[in-house]
Each structure stands twice: as structure tokens, then as C-alpha cells.
Structure 1
Amino acid sequence: MLPPLSFGAILFALLLAASPPTATAVNHTIDDTFGDSSTGFRPQYAPGFQWSIGGPICTNCLPTSFDLDPKQLFNGTYHLALSQNVTLTLNFTGTAIYVYNVLVNSIANSPNFSTTTNLTFALDGVRSTASTSFVHAQTNLNSNITYNALVYSTASLPYANHSLVMTNIGPLCFFDYAIYTTQNASALPNASTLPRVSPHLR
């Protein structure tokens, strides 16, 4: 016959059973074309007709002079904007987000075409600091194309539903993918029960 458990041992076991699981941070990717690897959410492009899809699924839809290597693109695809003030919206639930674009320094056979990238970002409706803009000026560097270029990042956000809007000031924007940090879904309530940060402009 086993000896009876002490009151302390019983109390410890009850507290351990009642304790919620520890949340762990995980990263998910939002592809420009195929969307969120976890939720399936796809980026929202506005207006949609001013964004072009590039990659194996869309042959001959962009000038071949861009010459991007699909092997260096996430999932082999990208979205291109050549118009000013078009937007891309990424919705995510988490505590951090990182946005990656492709930067181009020149276009074959079009030396007078500006490849400057000029972007602004608004998180939950707020765009108030220098860190919410990104500018890449056209250069004469030997490396014509830069892949996986980090154009925006923010961390230490409250765990909640967030919305990030990227605006192309022009003239050129190649969006590839974004990565956001969230918490292990098994350890936290459903995202639909979380607060959404109220948008407000400054």
C-alpha cells in the first residue's frame, strides 16, 4: 500500500494542473501571392489592377528586363507596383513584423528609368516617426538586384490583432514577403477574442 500524499504535495499537483501552458514565440511568413503560412490570409492590394504578379505563375506579365531570379524569391513570386500611392495591407496577430522587398539599381535597356524605392508604413493607423519610411536611391553598385531587403520592422508590440499598411510613394516597389512573430496558438485564446488596436492618425 502506498503512503498517503502530504497536503503540500496535493496542493502543488493541483496548482500545476491549473496553471496555463507557457506561451512560446513562433514565426510565420506572409507570402506576396500565397499568403499567411498559418492562417491563409493574403495581402490586400489596392487598387488591385495597379499591382502586377511576377514569378513562374505569371509568365510574360512583366518586362523581362527586370530579370529577377525566382530561386532567390520567397516561393518564387513577387508583386510589383509602378504607380504612386498604391497600398498593400498586412493583417496579423502577434508582437512583431518584418517586411522584405526586392531592390533594383538599374533596368537593362532602360537607363533613364528610375528604380528608386520610396515607401511609407502605417501600423494600426499610426505613421509618426522616421522609422515608418524607407528610401532606396538608385545607385551604380555592381550588385544590380538585392533580394530579401528588410524595408520595415517593428517589435515589442502588444499581443493583439494588427494591421500594417505599406504605401508606394514611387516609382518602384517589389514586395516579396513578410515575417511576423506570434505566440503558440495552443497556449493562447483564439485570435478572434483578442483586442484590435484602435486605428488613429497623428
Structure 2
Amino acid sequence: MHFVTFLFSWFIFEIPCSASTASTLVNVTVDDQFGDAYTHSQISYTPIEAWSAAPDCSHCPSPSTLSTAKARYHTWHESYFSSDSASGTIRPGTPRYASFQFIGNAVYVACIVPPSNNITNQMKFFIDGIEVGSLYPMFATSTEWQYDVVVYQNTSMSMASHQLLISSGGEDGPDAIILLDFIMYSTNDIDSTTDGVSLNGSPPGTKGVPLTPVIGATVGGIALIMVCGLFFFLRRRKRGSRPVTILSDSPWWRRLRSPLNGQSSKTQILPNTPGLMRAVDPHPERAQNDCRTQSILVWQQNTQQGTRSVDLAPLDMSEELSSYYENATTTESRRVHTPPPPPRRYIVTNK
């Protein structure tokens, strides 16, 4: 009973707490082209004409080796900055901006890094109008394109509404290129089964596990264990309360049907007493009466055999019982009634 109570209490209090804790924080992916997977908000790009979407990348080094299949959702947004008006870039000398507003307490920015060291990734990051990080300059260290590279992360924010601003290039600065792949932020109280929403702690580039099926399977498994435990407990309790009846080890004449009640003597074993299998007669006074009655019957049979040849009137039961108890207190032998002597005849003669 205590075990079932413990399981029920744990199921009532622990499971809701665990589910609430597990669903507190999740990561939401904001794609550069498709936007927020949960709120459907979009990233703002300025100046809009200076940005191009995948698969375009006219200013990318080795554009033929750039693969859309390796980018998140096969998309990116690219912008090339140059302060030289003769470079052919759109609005030379104007920094490129990408901004996004979200509610959360952590944010990550992932980009695609080009392989050439002739161009840099020059970026600055602002949260709510305050510069919180920079990447200047960053030359490529690999001869191949690098995907899902986290160029900025902030996990020390309060849970509130925040504005993220990313800038690339600066006045009189070196040429710079940015290929924004996606933004990810951590928030709570949302449906984690939405595509693009993953468990908190899943790094960029990994697919999160939906939370609802996990909680459902856990609660269902615990409920099944509780039902099985309750079933076995009730079954054991019902089996333990059933009395066990066996034939008595008493002498054979006690097992004869009693002439008084017409029932055979049986012995009841007390349940739930292993090691103390003590035979208990359910009706001790009845067994005592049976014993006395049987003794009377045996005594009566012996008496009738001793007086069978004598033509006597049968004695009534009261006389027999009185004679039996009188004889039982004096001696163990049975007293046999002898017939009275025949009457004597006397002849009187006168002399």
C-alpha cells in the first residue's frame, strides 16, 4: 500500500514539475529567408538593394564551390561592402545592416565563412542599441567554405524583448563580406513541435528533438507502471485474505459426522501466518460435544452386548447418561446390569 501511495504521489507532483522544467527554454531558429519558425517575423536588411539571396553571390570568392545544400534550409543572404566607389558595389562606403527583434534570454548568429584570405568578415553586434561584440577583422583560416559558423553568441541577457542589430563594414574600413545563414534565440512558453524549434542547448547545425512526444511517452510509461503495480497489489491482497481449509489431523472418530449437527469437523489455518501454521478448530465446543457423544455411543454399545441374552426392558437415555457419568467418575470399566435373581418359593408345612 505504501508503494502504491508513493507512486501516485510522485506521479501527481513530480511529472508536472518535470514537464514544466523541461519545456521552460527552447531554441527558435530564424532563417535568413524564411524568418522566425514560431512568430513568423522576418529579418530586416538595409540597404535592401545591397543584399542578395542564395544562390546569388556575385562578389564571393570561388562562388562555384559554394554549396546551397550545406546551408541551413539551403539559403543565405550575402552583402559585399567596399569604401571604394570604383569597386562596383552598391552604395559604396555604406555599412550593411541586418536586424531582428525577439523575446528571449540568449541569441546566436551563424554565418558562412569564405575560404579566401583576400576578404574579411568585419562585423559589429548591438543589443538594444548597445554594442556588445565585434568581429574585426576576421580572415578565413581554411581553403574551403565553412558552414554553421557561430560568429556571435550572448547567453547573459534577461528574458525580455530585445533588438539585435548586425553591421558589416565601416567607413574607410577594409572590404568585407557577410553571408548570414540564420539567427537562433532561446525563449519559453511555446510549442516545441513547431518546425525550426528545438530544445534549449542544441547548438546551431543540429536538429532538436520535439518535446511533446518525449513528455507523452514518459507520462504514459509511468502510468502503465502504476496500473501494473496497483493490479498486483490488489491481487496479492485478495489472495492473502482468503482462508485456507484442510482436513484436521485429529483421530478418525473426530472426523465422523456428528449426530448433533450433521457436519464433519474441519480445521482452519489462519491466513498470513507463514511459519505459524497452527491448526485451529473453528468450533471447539462442538468438537468437545462430539467427543462426549461418541464416548456415550461406545459405552452404550458395550452395555447392550453384555445384556443381549437377558430379556430386559431398555433403559431410557436419562438413566443411561446418569449411569455413564456416575461410572466414569469412579472407574474406567463399564458396569453391566445383571438380571435380578429369580423369586424363591417357600413351602410351609405344619408338623
Q: Does TM, scored on the shorter chain, surpass 0.5?
A: yes
Residue 124 to residue 144, structure 1, CA distance change in 2 (3 Å): same
Secondary structure of 2:53 counterpart: strand
Q: What is the TM-score when the length of structure 2 is the normalising length?
A: 0.41
Quick one: percent identity of the two aligned structures? 27
Of stretches 60-69 and 37-46 in structure 1, the one that deviates more from structure 2 is 60-69
The answer for unaligned runs of 5 or more in structure 2 is 1-11, 13-19, 82-93, 170-174, 192-351
Answer yes or no: is the 8 Å Cα contact 2:127–2:165 preserved in 1. yes
Structure 2 residue identity aligned to 1:77: T
The CA distance in 2 between the partners of 1:184 and 1:63, in whole Å, is 42
Which TM-score applies when normalising by structure 1? 0.68
Q: Spell out the pairing of 1:12-161 with structure 2 (5 A cutoff).
A: 24-55=24-55, 62=58, 65-66=62-63, 67-83=65-81, 84-106=94-116, 114-127=118-131, 132-135=133-136, 137-139=138-140, 141-161=141-161
Q: How far apart, in 2, do the equivalents of 1:81 and 1:100 lie? A: 15
In 1, distance between residues paired with 2:154 and 2:59? Answer: 33
Deviation per CA, 1:103-134, whole angstroms, max 9, x where unpaired? 11229xxxxxx32101001100001x5xx101
Q: Is the 8 A contact 2:116 2:143 kept in 1?
A: no
Letter aligned with residue 124 of structure 1? D
The higher-RCO structure (CA 8 Å, 6+ apart) is 1
In structure 1, what is the Cα distance between the partners aligned to 2:37 and 2:177?
26
| Unmatched 5+ stretches in structure 1 | 1-12, 14-20, 108-113, 187-202
- Which structure has the highest helix share of the two? 2
What RMSD over aligned residues (CA atoms) do the two structures have, in Å?
A: 2.4
Q: Residues 157 and 137 from structure 1, CA distance in 2 versus in 1: closer, same or farther, beyond 3 angstroms?
A: closer
2:189 matched residue in structure 1: 184
**C-alpha separation in 2, matches of 1:159 and 1:137:** 31
Distance apart, 1:142 and its partner CA:
4.8
